[in-house]
Amino acid sequence: MYRFIIRRVLSAIPLLIAITLVSFAIMQMAPGDFLTQMSLNPQISPQLIEKLRVTYGLDQPVHIRYLRWLWGVVRLDFGYSFAYHMPVIKLIAQRAAATLLLGLSSTIFAWGIAVPLGILAAVHRNSWIDRLTSILAFMGISVPTAFLALLAVFAAARTGWLPIGGMHHMSYEFMAPWQQFLDLLRHLILPTLVLGIGMLAGLMRQVRSNLLETLRSDYVTAARAKGVSERVAVYRHAFGNAINPLITIFGYYIGDLLSGAALVEIVMAWPGLGRLMLDALSGKDIYLVMGSLVISSIMLIGGNLLADILLAYSDPRIRYD
């Protein structure tokens, strides 16, 4: 097992290099750089821009810049954001916390509801509860998340029950710690719902179909023939075998934690990585883009690795030797 983990981590290194190389190359294909916008400003002389270009190292050829950046990453130096005048790593750390918080709360929300509802729907197949959850799930799958976010903002604005966006109230700084906590929770509710509903719908269908399949299996009939209760037949025997595909999906969700919320963040003004990435991309703030990309890739690879490790624990047939 440990050898497997080490091998996977080592094999992730060339993968990461490939990802960054391709991304770096694609970014270069778009015309202009971060300073191009400045050159439109008549107040800034072309000489100054040339000087800045040399200072930022943007005058170097592509491969030199990539290798310089890569060497920096090896020393855990992700470079400097042109737009924010801040080390990329610091900037990302600030924003990633907000995104992770949203990602985790919506993941917990989605799984916490999807798993029990999926089980209920599978066990009472074709009953009213199955039909109702199916309809809701299809609605959840069909409505685009960004549109749902707009609806939520609209509803919040009309009713005034919940904040329409952002992460903190204006007077956040002056609140007592427990008030700050409550304020954060209030701000978290809508983005969590919006992001969670999209995940929940698909997940619930997945739980239902996996469980339906294992409920039909011979070993569940054999378990019933031993006299186990319906609960044991469903939870121990059927669900115990239905969770493997869910673990794989769980791995993808972990990989998606940082980047999956981008749309919702932008619509609901959540100060997370998604907006930062978008601004960085359109502003050609290249090292910031690369930094976010590396972090997201590491999350994806790590999430999959975690899923594989969990799979080995849940299914004795899977052994990595």
Partner 1 sequence: MSLLHINGLQVHFQTEAGLVRAVDGVDLELESGRTLGIVGESGCGKSVTMLSVMRLIQPPGRIMAGSILFEGRDLLALSREEMRQVRGGGIGMVFQDPMTSLNPVLSVGEQIAEAIEIHKRTSRRRAWSMAVEAMERVSIPDAADRAGDYPHQFSGGMRQRIMIAMAIACKPRLLIADEPTTALDVTVQAQILNLLRDLQAENKMSIIVITHDLRVAAQLCHDLAVFYAGRVMERGNAEQILSNPGHPYTIALRNSIPGFSSSGERLQTIGGNPPNLIDKISGCVFHPRCPTAHSSCSDLSPVERFVSDGRSLACDYHALGEM
> Which residues contact partner 1 (rule: CB under 8 A)?
217-219, 221-229, 232, 236-237, 240-241, 314-317
Chain centre to alpha carbon of residue 28: 26
d(CA 36, CA 69): 21
* Residue whose C-alpha is closest to residue 22's, from 305, 259, 290: 290
Smallest distance from partner 1 to CB 102, Å: 34
Return the number of the residue (119 or 257) whose C-beta is nearest partner 1: 119
d(CA 174, CA 185): 17
Output the six-digit token pair for 142: 């069909």
Residues 113-142 as b or e (16 or more Cβ within 10 Å = b): bbbebbbbbbbeeeeeebeebbeebeebee
Output the six-digit token pair for 291: 């930094």
Return the number of the residue (37 or 221) whose C-beta is nearest partner 1: 221
Return the number of the residue (208 or 275) whose C-beta is nearest partner 1: 208
Return the number of the residue (187 or 237) whose C-beta is nearest partner 1: 237
Smallest distance from partner 1 to CB 233, Å: 10
Return the number of the residue (3 or 317) whose C-beta is nearest partner 1: 317
Sign of the torsion formed by the C-alpha atoms of 156, 162, 165 and 171: positive
- Give, for 156, the enclosing helix (H) or strand (E): helix 145-159
* Residue whose C-alpha is closest to residue 8's, from 308, 249, 212, 240: 308
Smallest distance from partner 1 to CB 238, Å: 9
Indicate the burial class of 298 (C-beta count within 10 angstroms; 0-12, 13-18, 19 or more). Answer: middle
Return the number of the residue (214 or 297) whose C-beta is nearest partner 1: 214
Smallest distance from partner 1 to CB 315, Å: 6
Smallest distance from partner 1 to CB 282, Å: 49
Smallest distance from partner 1 to CB 219, Å: 4
Non-local CB neighbours of 273 within 8 Å, separated by 6+ positions? 92, 95, 96, 98, 99, 258, 259, 262, 265, 292, 295
Smallest distance from partner 1 to CB 202, Å: 24
Return the number of the residue (36 or 229) whose C-beta is nearest partner 1: 229
Return the number of the residue (25 or 222) whose C-beta is nearest partner 1: 222
- Give, for 307, the enclosing helix (H) or strand (E): helix 286-314
Smallest distance from partner 1 to CB 314, Å: 7
Contact 313, 247 (CB under 8 A): no
Helix (H, G, I), strand (E, B) or coil at 320: coil
